[in-house]
Structure 1
Amino acid sequence: MGHEKDNNATDAYPADESADTDSSDIDPILKFPAYTRYAVVASCFVIQGLSAGLVHAWGVQQEYLAANVYNGDSAKIKTLGYIGTLMYFSMYIWGMLAGWLAEVWSYRKLCFVGIVIMALGQLLASFCYEPWQLCLTEGVTFGLGLGLVFSPSSVAGVGVGGLVTAPLTEFLVNQTGVEWSLRISAIYIMVLGTIACYFIRVPFQDKTRTLRNFDWRAFGDRRFAIHACMVFFVTAAYIVPYAFLPEFWVSKGISPQTASVLIAAANVASSVGRVATGFSADYIGVLNALVLSLLVAALSCLVLWPFATGIGTGIVMGLCYGFAAGGYWSLAPLAAGKLFGIDKVASNTGIFYTISAVGAWLGGPAAGAILAGPGHGTYFTGMSMYVGALWLVALASALTNRILYSRAIFAKT
């Protein structure tokens, strides 16, 4: 990398040209003044909250439509169920394209385009009356915008976004109906998202890279394949507890209202975990912190979930799982940067998010099929063991890369 005045995009912070040390010898993050770093993190936090938070909030609108608009029409209610899956799938499938566009074009501009498409998807959905139309607007259009912003702005914010937007959406749906709740969400996506995009900056951006000179050498790196394996299995496992724990708790005699509170607690723990594990990585190393997060997530499913049959144990399960699983999402891009270079973190992370789309598409249905077996929806042990096994495979992958990077047990890696 040369001096940034030659290579930087307009949304990259200019280097100090008076410095005697070559810019390649300086940690790029240290070129940001403290206030700039905080502004970047805050803006990414808002974008993540708006995007993934609204995915979590879709369930409120889906429940309202199923109960009040399409009540009794099983075919349309079944079609509604595909929208959430389309959102999750779209959030990841565009990751490779989004990461590469961010690097060769502009992080800020790409996020703004994604925000506009997200708002457009919500606005168009407010004029739809059939579930298949909502699949195109909420699932595909909104999902495209979601996919464009999710990879370049990946940071904490999802947990808090889900905690804030779900109650807000429920209030708007009950007070104004689904149509106006969608229109209002389009407005605040556009306003808050535009403000956040203004503060998006990157330490440097190599303008010599183009879409024609994509670096395919990463696919020949065994560490890359191992990291991709970890990403696949984590994504297949991650959403299952959030989707099925409320049903599990209700089957154990906990009220639906209390079950929703337990899931909200898990969302809060997820947001805290994303921040706390990032700080812990400064002290013990990114790869070490990633291994520990995956270990706690696996133990939460294998050891805690089967016994989380009361409010107390349910809170412990939700907090442990949310904290560890949330921490993964902060640490995985950092681990990719450490293993494969920070200059390619967006494109590489984008590739991993695209791989995640396959895991997101397969993990939930497989878990549902397991639950539909013995006990016909009441025997959750098989599901918890399945999810725990997925986390264990991911743990083995992360541990392998940690050993390949350094065999020193107590090294900060």
Structure 2
Amino acid sequence: MVSETHNDSAIHTTAKDLLSYNDTTLSESDSTDNSLEFPKYTRYAVVASCFVFQVLSCGLQISWGVQQEYLAANVYKGEPGKIKMLSYIGTLMYFGIYFWGMLAGWLAEVWSYRKLCFVGIVIMALGQLLASFCKEPWQLCLTEGVIFGLGTGLVFSPTTTASARWFTQRRGLATGIAVSGVGIGGLIIAPLTEFLLRRTGVEWSLRISAIYIMVLGSIACYFVRVPFQDKTRTLRNFDWRAFGDRRFAANAGIVFFVAAAYITPYAFLPEFWVSKGMSSQTASVLIAVANVSSSVSRLIIGFSADYIGVLNALVLNLLGASLSCLVLWPFATGVGMGVVTSIFYGFSTGGYWALAPLVAAKLCGVDRLASVSGVISTVAAVGVWMGSPVADAMLGEPHHSSYFVAVSTYTGGLWLAAFFLALFSRTLYSKKVLSKV
């Protein structure tokens, strides 16, 4: 059985040599599926457990809007200051996924994937449990925003990358299945959250969510593992010189712009549709359509990347996301175009999340995948605070439908910037249009 651990000389090479070395290694391993050396049921269990973690972490984050709407309409009705503070909770959750990525990636590699995920699950459940006793929005910011956000940040990076370490030929498909849990989580947990809020109230809905997070997460923890783990590595082993490589820097820039752009349409498209005369129920259905499309694309794009190349698929997805905001969004004033926009945006952006860990693996190899992805995720945390807040400022007070053109153009521009960086990164590998990269 071949070890994935680099020797000491490989660790201390320059960033450029390191990246070139890993490209060669990966291209040679693509001819045979080395993952066949591992028990297939172990590999499948890892993918399934990562899927569950994505459902619990990102599914609850996506479903926050349901709880926010209930709190604004029933608990804090007539208190605009408190209602406005609720909007920060979702941003803190989203920020936590990325901000703690560097810490999570390092701890996963130098400590244990399984133990780190268990700690993350405990913190997630604790955040929900403590939130059930809160009475003020600022308290919810600390519990659901900061504490729950920390928990999701600890499990997101390891469970996004663990399945990729078990596969070579089907790495894209395995990663796509794992990260499809984000969209599936939104589809399952959002209606469950609304049901619990209506039947049990805010307090018990949070306590029940803490229970199923702890139970399902603990079971999934048992199966999270990687084929090999170098226990001699420490936090000091990370090669910061990788940032000097143009491909690594371009990928960090891509993630920055994607993080800024991704959540904005989900946050503002419903308000745009309502301003055009649709009901809030229709707008929520259209967002659900985008989530379904996103889940499907993670499987299809992950699968197709194994055949057309990771960077080729990345370029096409980012171009699709740009067009959906610049070309489709401004004209999605009716239900028909709304459905088209939802499907197109969900599909193109969902595929990106299946490709992100594959791009990191192509850059720096699978044995350092968690730490490299974690560093890039922390860069993306800065982008989170640039997306929706800037879009909200563009709309002004009161929000007027004519200003949504500026928001769609702004969001499309962020996706377009990511597209050009991806195109630049691809040309660094090959300038041949039809080559598999």
TM over 0.5: yes
Supply the distance in 1 between the matched residues of 2:141 and 2:6 (Cα, whole angstroms): 44
Amino acid at match of 1:178: V
1:292 to 316, 325, 329: 316
Give the structure 2 partner of residue 125 of structure 1.
131
Comparing 370-379 with 287-296, greater Cα deviation is found at: 370-379
Supply the distance in 2 between the matched residues of 1:340 and 1:307 (Cα, whole angstroms): 41
Give the structure 1 partner of residue 44 of structure 2.
38
Give the structure 2 partner of residue 231 of structure 1.
255
Supply the distance in 2 between the matched residues of 1:331 and 1:405 (Cα, whole angstroms): 17
Offset at 1:197? Answer: 1.3
1:112 to 111, 118, 134: 118
Supply the distance in 2 between the matched residues of 1:290 and 1:64 (Cα, whole angstroms): 37
Supply the distance in 2 between the matched residues of 1:99 and 1:261 (Cα, whole angstroms): 36
Comparing 182-191 with 377-386, greater Cα deviation is found at: 377-386
Tell me: CA distance 1:400–1:374, structure 2 relative to 1, closer, same or farther (3 Å). farther
Structure-to-structure mapping, 1:15-164, within 5 angstroms = 29-154=35-160, 155-164=179-188
Structure-to-structure mapping, 1:1-16, within 5 angstroms = 3=3
Conserved in 1, the CA contact under 8 Å of 2:257 and 2:414? yes
1:386 pairs with 2:392 = no
Q: Deviations over 1:4-25 (max 9, x none)?
A: 7999xxxxxxxxxxxxxx9x96
Offset at 1:62? Answer: 1.6
Conserved in 2, the CA contact under 8 Å of 1:266 and 1:319? yes
Offset at 1:341? Answer: 1.5
Partner of 1:379: helix, strand, or coil? helix
Give the structure 2 partner of residue 14 of structure 1.
none
1:343 pairs with 2:367 = yes
Stretches of structure 1 that go unaligned for 5 or more consecutive residues are 8-21
1:271 pairs with 2:299 = no
Give the structure 1 partner of residue 169 of structure 2.
none
Offset at 1:159? Answer: 0.7
Aligned CA RMSD, in angstroms, stands at: 2.2
Q: Deviations over 1:77-117 (max 9, x none)?
A: 22222111111111110001101111111111111110110
Comparing 82-91 with 183-192, greater Cα deviation is found at: 82-91
Offset at 1:374? Answer: 10
Stretches of structure 2 that go unaligned for 5 or more consecutive residues are 8-24, 161-178
Supply the distance in 2 between the matched residues of 1:310 and 1:166 (Cα, whole angstroms): 25
Tell me: CA distance 1:408–1:205, structure 2 relative to 1, closer, same or farther (3 Å). farther
Tell me: CA distance 1:183–1:215, structure 2 relative to 1, closer, same or farther (3 Å). same
| Count of paired positions | 399
Partner of 1:409: helix, strand, or coil? coil
Conserved in 2, the CA contact under 8 Å of 1:79 and 1:132? yes
TM (normalized to structure 2)? 0.87
Supply the distance in 2 between the matched residues of 1:210 and 1:198 (Cα, whole angstroms): 24
Offset at 1:311? Answer: 1.1
1:221 to 225, 231, 245: 245
Partner of 2:159: helix, strand, or coil? coil
Conserved in 2, the CA contact under 8 Å of 1:251 and 1:378? no
Tell me: CA distance 1:374–1:121, structure 2 relative to 1, closer, same or farther (3 Å). closer
Q: Deviations over 1:377-397 (max 9, x none)?
A: 543111111111111110011
1:361 pairs with 2:385 = yes
Q: Deviations over 1:245-264 (max 9, x none)?
A: 11111111111101100100
Offset at 1:74? Answer: 2.1
Offset at 1:34? Answer: 2.9
Give the structure 2 partner of residue 19 of structure 1.
none
Conserved in 1, the CA contact under 8 Å of 2:317 and 2:352? yes
TM (normalized to structure 1)? 0.92
Supply the distance in 1 between the matched residues of 2:399 and 2:381 (Cα, whole angstroms): 30
Supply the distance in 1 between the matched residues of 2:262 and 2:327 (Cα, whole angstroms): 16
Give the structure 2 partner of residue 207 of structure 1.
231
Amino acid at match of 1:149: V
Supply the distance in 1 between the matched residues of 2:119 and 2:434 (Cα, whole angstroms): 44
